[in-house]
Structure 1
Amino acid sequence: MSEDTKFQIFKRDQQYVFGEEGVMTTDPTPVQRAGLEKMLEEGVIDGSVYTMVANLPGFTLMHAWFKKDYPLPLHSHSADCLYYVIAGSARLGTEELGPGDSFFVPANTPYTYHAGPEGVEVLEYRHTLDIDFQNYAKGQAFYDKAVETVIANRDYWKTVPKPSERQAG
């Protein structure tokens, strides 16, 4: 971290829903572009929420909520990332992850995970937000299935509470 970094407190009311904002650059193929556009058109945006918790030079912390059946493609990023599950569950390969579990993904390592039946909330720790998103879901079959999944879940996604809210309630 830089020498001018000082002690800071990050309050909940200072957090914000995170969007594109010039990060996670990608260069999709025509099939990927068409598939992603169709997913957006059908409502995939309601299947996940990203909240910026802290963004400092050399350190970022984001809260990500993937709702049940969110179609996260096989992908990689150009920066290391440490994930910590705070609520819900996810399947990563053959591993079932729940609250308190974590996983580390080195830069440029392809991965995906699947939110469990109640969805999953994770904290994402990175050293930068200036990363790329390399999408490895290249075939039309992935996007056809993803669109079907979005259509089947979009109404549910609009109203479902976070797993942490259900556990606390």
Structure 2
Amino acid sequence: MTDQPTKFRIFRAATAPTLKQSNVLRYEGVTPVIAEGLQELGKAGIGDGSFAKILFNAPGFSLAYAWHKSDFPLPLHSHDSDCCYLVLAGEMRFGKEVLGKGDGVFVPADTPYTFVTGPDGVEFIEFRNVTSWNIIFKSGNPASWTKGAERVAALRDAWQTEKQPVGFVEPVE
């Protein structure tokens, strides 16, 4: 038996599971501070600022789509697998580097990173060489989680009416 795809497979964005519906992400190393911080972000409305689908998942390969709305604050984190992002529309900022349509970034496994989206948000495709991966949040500082939650709360109303830059994959209501 092989762990590689063995036949031609078509996938459709319309029927792809959302990240929440899939079973690809494992939360690891969640301390009480991180758990409380994630809870604060949830109450502030971080879920209203982001949407993701797993478009294709087969042994040794996954393809995801994500849309993060304007100024979305992604907490510092790492994963146990390599990842390659391709920007479809909008922008993502990694420190002083601004990535726009057609740009991308490779993030090696176990490399802590974060990004902030631009004023129009960002739509991107994410490639991985695995079918599931972990997420390890890096901040143990309660103040940084509170600051993130305050930022999310301030953006939440604006996120309600934002339209995707390209609308590559329609969100599920």
Q: TM-score, normalised by structure 2?
A: 0.88
Report what 2:85 is aligned to: 83
Q: Does 1:146 align with 2:148?
A: yes
Cross-structure match for 1:14? 15
Match of 2:61 in 1: 59
Cα distance in structure 1, aligned partners of 2:6 and 2:31:
40
User: Number of aligned pairs?
Assistant: 166
* CA deviation profile, 1:92-134 (whole Å, cap 9, x unmatched): 1211100000100000011111100000111000122321111
CA offset digits 1:20-57 (Å, max 9, x no partner): 64423222111111111011112111111011111111
Letter in 2 for 1:144: T
Sort the Cα spacing of 1:105 and 1:3 in 2 relative to 1 into closer, same or farther, 3 A: closer
Gaps of 5+ in 2: 168-173
d(CA) in 2 for partners of 1:128, 1:4: 12
Structure 1 residue 13 displacement after superposition? 2.4
Equivalent AA in structure 2 for residue 98 of structure 1: G
2:22–2:54 CA contact under 8 A, matched in 1 = no
The one-letter amino acid paired with 1:34 is: E
Secondary structure in 1 matching 2:27? coil
The residue number in structure 1 matching 2:157 is 155
Matched, 1:108 2:128: no
Q: Distance between the aligned counterparts of 1:78 and 1:3, measured in 2?
A: 20
Alignment-mate amino acid for residue 24 of structure 1: R
User: What amino acid maps onto 1:30 in structure 2?
Assistant: P
% of aligned pairs identical?
Answer: 41
Question: Which is helix-richer, 1 or 2?
Answer: 1
Helix, strand or coil at the partner of 2:91: strand
- Misfit runs of 4+, over 6 Å: none
Instruction: Tell me the distance in 2 between the aligned counterparts of 1:105 and 1:157.
Output: 27
Q: Secondary structure in 1 aligned to 2:55? A: strand
Match for 1:86: what amino acid? L
What code does the residue aligned with 2:138 have? Y
1:11 to partner: Cα distance:
2.2
CA separation in 1, counterparts of 2:4 and 2:63? 20
* TM-score for both structures, normalised by structure 1: 0.90
Task: For 2:13, give the aligned amino acid.
Answer: R
AA of the residue aligned to 2:18 = V
- Tell me which amino acid in the other structure corresponds to 2:142: Q
Secondary structure class of the residue paired with 2:26:
coil
In structure 2, relative to structure 1, the CA distance for the partners of 1:3 and 1:90 (3 Å cut) is closer
